[in-house]
Structure 1
């Protein structure tokens, strides 16, 4: 049930994308997601898809590994597509009782489905190619200018990174609990919807208990090491932009500019 899900994992490597500064990857991911949200023409969606495939290839990651990040969202993707197909008014192609499949619904559903897929893949490329330590450093560096307005940059970066870091751990623990409950005769896939929901309870209770236990262990470990947040902290490796970082950032900015031009003047 939980095998093959790679959400939040980091895959070590020495590819072109791995070697980029974490700030570059964070900014490019943000610009790419913004471009996906504002794109409203087929040529724009095709351009973003080609660029996503290009950077997936440059990351050295297999398509199967990247596709595994879509598994936790497959229900959301399917429901979103179905809702658009049946509830978007337009030219009816097929009638199923009171519901009708419209041509406009199919087109809109396909566009939204593809947008959501690109968003998940782009964010996954960021986490798959950036270690939690570098991700924290990059987020903290980008948020540091906001400290003058009272924003706790280090604490926010640490909180987001820890949340991402524990997603694979929780998925692995959920898989272990799922197999253990199945061996004891738990029925997760049999019966009606009510019985299936009742069958999830034996999975959620130990999972939440384990999550709270891990959080308490992490808090204790940080206190033992005298962790005091970002005050007077130094880093062994200082972040520095390279020529490749500037080129990738320029490409991301140009891509967003082209998408905006196609939206308003195309």
Structure 2
């Protein structure tokens, strides 16, 4: 349960930590879009290299970045097997056929392609939260949505709600881990048995976790009330967001990287189709 990295913050002094949160939010959204639209293994390799280079610049340990993959291993396995067994059933390169299940070379390539794509999506989103503090994340979301405030959209409240929800993910995972250890000390079993048995063992955790979430939400509401929080109206900031030269450079790098992936989709897929995803 403690392996969830989405929503956690890793404090460090790095160029990526010092970037404007708006640049990181837009960059993460662009990264996810590029991971979805990449059509070749070269494109995925470039995206992976870009993500690893950003992780190196951010000084976030790779162990902390990839730790979150432990929580989605079932989804990774399911995605891999579905694409492996049910892709290109009419392929000329069949490796194994058993009833309606067909394993082809194209299916194997596609399964690997989709698994790598999913890994990139999770690690890319995790890197953004690991390098952005909760306050900066809230301010960045609010500033990006501020044009909608002119038509009555509650930009500040929405940003605050999204930030709190994101930061509650690791908190709830830690609480679930604490409850599981408490129940295991009383004789409950969570490690033995198959997948169905493990799923049934998790059911008794749901109610105490739900109660704990309500209690934490109430404590947070009381703390915000005690600090005279009344929304974004009239709120001032100690550190006002402002784009700097490094943010401009980061934007130019993102633009250049987007053009590279777009060129890869167009030219590599057309000129060198054997390198493209089937």
Q: TM (normalized to structure 1)?
A: 0.94
The whole-number CA distance in structure 1 between the counterparts of 2:4 and 2:223 is 28
Contact 1:31 1:253 in 2 (8 A): no
Identify the residue that residue 155 of structure 1 maps to in structure 2. 157
The whole-number CA distance in structure 2 between the counterparts of 1:149 and 1:259 is 36
Give the superposed CA RMSD.
Answer: 1.6
Structure 1 unaligned blocks of 5 or more = none
The whole-number CA distance in structure 1 between the counterparts of 2:232 and 2:2 is 37
Contact 1:181 1:202 in 2 (8 A): no
User: Mean alpha-carbon deviation: is it higher for 189-198 or for 61-70?
Assistant: 189-198
2:257 is the alignment partner of 1:258: no
SS at match of 1:220: helix
Identify the residue that residue 274 of structure 2 maps to in structure 1. none
User: Mean alpha-carbon deviation: is it higher for 173-182 or for 224-233?
Assistant: 224-233
The whole-number CA distance in structure 1 between the counterparts of 2:4 and 2:200 is 24
Structure 2 unaligned blocks of 5 or more = 269-278
Contact 2:6 2:125 in 1 (8 A): no
Deviation at 1:96, TM superposition (A): 4.2
SS at match of 2:16: coil
Contact 1:7 1:68 in 2 (8 A): no
Q: 2:105 aligns with which of 78, 103, 106?
A: 103
- For each residue in 1:145-204, what CA deviation from the matched residue of structure 2 results, as whole angstroms up to 9, or x when unmatched? 121233211111101110111111111111111111111111223345554333212221
Identify the residue that residue 116 of structure 1 maps to in structure 2. 118
Closer, same or farther in 2 for the Cα pair 1:57/1:170, shift >3 Å? same
The whole-number CA distance in structure 1 between the counterparts of 2:143 and 2:2 is 35
Q: 2:130 aligns with which of 104, 128, 131?
A: 128
SS at match of 1:93: strand
The whole-number CA distance in structure 2 between the counterparts of 1:15 and 1:191 is 45
The whole-number CA distance in structure 1 between the counterparts of 2:196 and 2:22 is 46
The total of aligned residue pairs comes to 265
Closer, same or farther in 2 for the Cα pair 1:191/1:120, shift >3 Å? closer
- Aligned runs of 1:1-266 on 2, under 5 Å? 2-89=1-88, 90=91, 91-191=93-193, 193-266=195-268
The whole-number CA distance in structure 2 between the counterparts of 1:231 and 1:30 is 28
The whole-number CA distance in structure 1 between the counterparts of 2:11 and 2:219 is 26
- For each residue in 1:117-172, what CA deviation from the matched residue of structure 2 results, as whole angstroms up to 9, or x when unmatched? 11111111110011000000111111101212332111111011101111111111
- For each residue in 1:210-233, what CA deviation from the matched residue of structure 2 results, as whole angstroms up to 9, or x when unmatched? 011111121222223332211121
Q: TM (normalized to structure 2)?
A: 0.90
The whole-number CA distance in structure 1 between the counterparts of 2:238 and 2:100 is 64
